[in-house]
Amino acid sequence: MAGPRRDTRGIVDAPELFARVRFRRREPYAEPLRRYVEHYWLIDWDLAEPYATQVVPHPSVNLVFQRYGTEPGSGFGELAGIGLELFTRKLAGTGRVCGVQFRPGGFRPFAPGRPVSHWTGRRLPHTEVFPDASGGASDGRGGPGAPGTSGTSRAVDGPRAGAAGGSGLPAVPGSAGAPAAVLGPADEDERVTALDTFLLAAGPEPDPQADLAMGLVHHIRTDRTIRRVSDFAAEEGVSVRSLQRLFAAYVGVSPKWVLLRYRVHEALERATRDTAVDWARLAAELGYSDQAHLVREFTATVGVPPTAYAR
């Protein structure tokens, strides 16, 4: 897997965001985690005036530790399933965020007892997904697991059964899961290490189906010739229905949703870096039936037409 992305796909008005906050992407130090984690994202800010940041979400689950203000121990953790709408967050004063963006398909090994679609569109305290080992629910694994084998199975008809016993949620030692352990260190490298510690304590279970899902989404993201889910399924040698079941269980949204979202991300990226985009040509490149289709989808997702956004 490649290291952290360097593009700004999904970030609305990325130059303005980067001018106001300190934004970094970091790779896990722990090599076994890199197969599941797209990157860690770290943000710090000290603003004289409030600022609203907006993101067109990726088809990824995020684990987010955040603190508003400087009070030690005031932070909290949140599990954010795939966002279906434009996400807006108002930043003010001083704050810090340490987030984990899982690869599309990469979160399921950390919570194997439930399909990823269970979390889609939801934001909830991280302790409801990663209960404290001393008092929360456990999936019966008895502690951290060993991340790791690569599978290439093409069997996509349904998820494997959840872990034996309990709710299927991972047990994380309280000290590893405390937001202060992640947000507290002044040193950025220590924060990355704390995120590694948290995720390794959650014990991701190797799962060939997760590997398959991650590979399929990566294919959709990087291959602009994919225009229809039916053609993609045929190319992969599976039925559309099997592909839909796999995506519901391991990605959290349908393959069509992923395809459309990456189209909007590409259009947003083009509009951010080039105010003279040939929208008719771009619509054709991205597989839209016409320019009007691109304009409608972009406007519905971002809130303004692409030409107005570019200006």
Can you give the pLDDT at residue 175? 54
Side chain identity at residue 76, one-letter code? F
The 10 Å CB-count burial string (b at 16+, else e) for 151-179 is: eeeeebeebeebbeebbbbbbbbeebbbb
Residues 6+ apart with CB under 8 A from 307: 279
Can you give the pLDDT at residue 24? 95
CA distances from 211 to 1, 61, 167 (A): 11, 16, 23
Element (H, E) at 43: strand 37-46
C-alpha 43 chain-centroid distance: 16
CA distances from 235 to 110, 230, 244, 254, 261 (A): 29, 9, 15, 17, 21
pLDDT in tens, 126-144: 999 987 633 343 333 333 3
Can you give the pLDDT at residue 148? 35
Long-range contacts of 286-290 (CB under 8 A, 24+ apart): 286/224, 287/224, 287/226, 287/227, 287/263, 288/263
Distance (Å, whole) CA 111 – CA 171: 10
Sort strands 76-80 and 62-68 into parallel, antiparallel or unpaired. antiparallel
How buried is residue 63: exposed, middle or buried, by Cβ count under 10 Å (0-12/13-18/19+)?
A: buried
Say if CB 65 and CB 97 are below 8 A apart: yes
Question: What are the residue boundaries of the structural domains of the chain, listed by start?
Answer: 14-206, 210-310
Query: What radius of gyration do the chain's Cα atoms show?
Result: 20
The tokens of 115 are what?
Answer: 């399909």
Cα angle vertex 226, ends 225, 232, to 5°?
140
CA distances from 74 to 23, 179, 215 (A): 21, 8, 38
Can you give the pLDDT at residue 154? 40
Does domain 210-310 fall under CATH 3.40.1360.10? My reply is: no
Can you give the pLDDT at residue 255? 97
The tokens of 286 are what?
Answer: 């991205």
Can you give the pLDDT at residue 134? 32
Can you give the pLDDT at residue 45? 97
Low-confidence ranges of the chain (pLDDT < 50): 1, 133-167
**What predicted TM-score, i.e. pTM, was given to this entire model?**
0.84
Nearest to 215 by CA among 195, 235, 239: 235
